[in-house]
Amino acid sequence: MRLDLRLTYRSLDQLWCQAVVAFLYEGSPLKRNISRINENLAGSLIPLIDKHFLTGKQDELILIAPQGRIKADKLLLVGLGPIGRYSSKILSSVMRNVSSTLERLKMHEFGIMVPSGKKMKPDYVELIKAILGNLVDCYIMSKGDAVDFSLKVIVSIEERFLVDLQSLEEKLRIYLDPIMDYSIVIDNNEGSENEKV
């Protein structure tokens, strides 16, 4: 099995892939990246929030078919619980459910925006490790030693929090080197509407 990892500043609605994973906080579900998806979905997330179908509670998973309104085929909305309790430990716990859900849906190419919980710069290395560790573990258990299987993950990072993708790439290489065969590509532009990532 191989991991193809791409680091980007692009928002989730611009990512061409099988699915995008969008995280929501309980009580304040429409943060900036989700607001943009909501706009592309003609505001269809608001009624789900108003009816308490979409709450942002920890481990909540809601799968939506965006019907061509974003670049991805599927949208998986994932609850993280209250923003004040958010940490890499919570993200790791939630990612176990996300990973098994994506694997059961036979999806191996997806985009994820690393959620930030506080106004200060988040520890992206630890948060991405929490995401990748659970994804890799789940797919390795499922695919075993399948040489021809490739897991493609596009990790979107808020540009205002991170200036140096090179430093993040180096730290992730140290983490991934002993685990598996991988590649890391940096896409450090915001892209245009129809440009494929």
Condensed to tens digits (0 to 9), the pLDDT of residues 138-191 reads 888 887 666 678 899 999 887 766 666 778 888 888 888 888 889 999 886 655
Per-residue pLDDT averaged across 24-32, rounded? 76
Domains, the chain, with CATH or none:
2-187 (3.40.220.10)
The model's confidence at residue 123, banded by pLDDT at 50, 70 and 90, is confident
Name residues whose C-beta falls within 8 Å of residue 147's C-beta, 6 or more positions apart in sequence.
1
What pLDDT is attached to residue 141?
A: 84
Q: Which has the higher per-residue pLDDT, 145 or 95?
A: 95
Residue 11 has pLDDT above 60, yes or no: yes
In angstroms and rounded to an integer, the radius of gyration of the C-alpha atoms of the chain is 16
Per-residue confidence (pLDDT) for residue 94, from 0 to 100: 94
Please state, in angstroms and rounded to a whole number, the distance separating the CA atoms of residues 41 and 39. 5
Please state the rounded mean pLDDT for residues 93-114.
Answer: 92
Q: For residue 108, what pLDDT band results from cuts at 50, 70 and 90?
A: very high
What is the pTM assigned to this prediction?
0.87
Cα 45 from Cα 139, distance rounded (Å): 30
Question: The tokens 């929090």 sit on which residue?
Answer: 161
Kindly state the average pLDDT of the residues 87-103. Answer: 91
Higher-pLDDT residue of 193 and 148 is: 148
Which residue, 98, 29, 1, 21, is CA-closest to 59? 98
29-80 tens-digit pLDDT:
666 668 889 899 998 988 988 898 999 999 999 999 999 999 999 999 999 9
Q: Who's near 162: CB < 8 A, 6+ residues apart?
A: 121, 124, 168
Mean pLDDT calculated for residue range 115-138: 78
Phi, psi of 12 (to 5 degrees): -60, -35
> DSSP class of residue 150?
E
Q: Are 146 and 1 in contact (CB under 8 A)?
A: yes
CA dihedral (64, 65, 69, 71) positive or negative: positive
Quick one: pLDDT at residue 110?
A: 92
Q: Is the pLDDT of residue 112 over 70?
A: yes
Q: Tell me, what's the pLDDT at 183? A: 93
What is the DSSP code string of 33-54? HHHHHHHHTTTTHHHHHHTTSS
**Mean pLDDT on 112-129:** 76
